[in-house]
Structures are given as C-alpha cells and as structure tokens.
Homo-oligomer: A and B are copies of this chain.
Amino acid sequence: MFSLSQSVGYALRALVCMEGQDCRTHYTRDIAACSGVPAAYLPKVFKKLADGGVLEAKRGRTGGTRLSRPAEAVSLLDIAEAVEGKDFLPDCLLGDGFCDGSRQCPCRSFWQAERERIRSELKRISLAGLIAAERGDQGGSESTGTCREANAKTISNP
C-alpha cells in the first residue's frame, strides 16, 4: 500500500488525545483507551516519538508522557519522521535501490517534485491543526501558553 505506516496513524490518534493545548503528562494506558490504539503496542510508538523529540516520558511513580513542545510546533513531518525514520520518503518512487548510478528512471524528475511537495505539506500541517480538525473546528489554533513551565508539576491523572 502506498501510504504511511499504520503506526504513524496510531501516533496521530494518540497525540490528538493528549489535547495539545497544555503539556500535562498522561498515562499511556489512558491515551490508549481514549484513542483506541492497542494498549500493549502504544508504548512502542511512544518510545519512537520520545526518541524523535516529540514526546517526553518520565518513569516511575507519578510518571507519564507529555508533549515536549506545544502542539502548534509539532508537524506531521516530525511525527512521521520519528515513527518511520528520517528518510521515509525515498529518492526514487520505486524505492531506494531502483535508480542506481546507471539507471535513471523517468519517474525521477516528477517524483522529486512530488516528494518535496508532500514533505512541505506534512511540515505545514501541525498537530494543533489536527486536533482542531478532529473537534470539527474550522478556525484553526487558538493561542496557548508556553508549555514547559506551565506544567512542570502538573499531573492530569489522579
């Protein structure tokens, strides 16, 4: 299938459930319940998002996971790259390894342009936009406060 992986979809659904407007920490199991992502699989996705700098996780009692920056500053490209890898958009439409030094398939010129268009679109769409769309808002992102200090000691779960 010519699409992003299912795990990227899981990541989006989960991140939307984190509300984005603030950076409160959430428990993975709560996000799983809210988003419908398999609870036993979500930690794997979250780990990739944490390694990619999208999420911050804290271990131990009263731990949890939160956005490492405001939802407005997280793009779909950030999420896709974190989950699928930095080079998930290959040089050749036929996959890396088709066009080598000698072969230059005719798709190449148009795919280069398509690829950059897709990349820039994914970069343009923010997590905040996703959340707004999910809620049916048309307006886009209402302003939010800063993230890092606002919830340094805030825990959303009981």
Contacts and interface: CB of A to CB of B under 8 A. Distances in A.
B114 A129 contact: no
Contacts of A133: 104-106
A128 to B, nearest CB: 10
A51 interface: no
A23 interface: no
A89 interface: yes
Interface in A107-132: 107, 110, 114, 117-118, 121-122, 125, 129-130
Nearest to A120: B110
Contact of A1 (B88, B104, B114): B88
How many copies of this chain?
Answer: 2
A134 B107 CA distance: 12
Contacts of A110: 121
Interface residues of A, number: 37
Given A130-B106, A133-B105, A94 B4 contact: yes
Contact of A95 (B4, B88, B89): B4
Interface stretch (A6-14, A25-33, A42-50, A59-67): A6-14
A66 B94 CA distance: 23
A12 B95 CA distance: 13
A76 interface: yes
Given A94-B12, A95-B9, A107-B76, A2 B4 contact: yes
B106 A114 contact: no
Interface in A65-116: 76, 84, 88-90, 92-98, 103-107, 110, 114
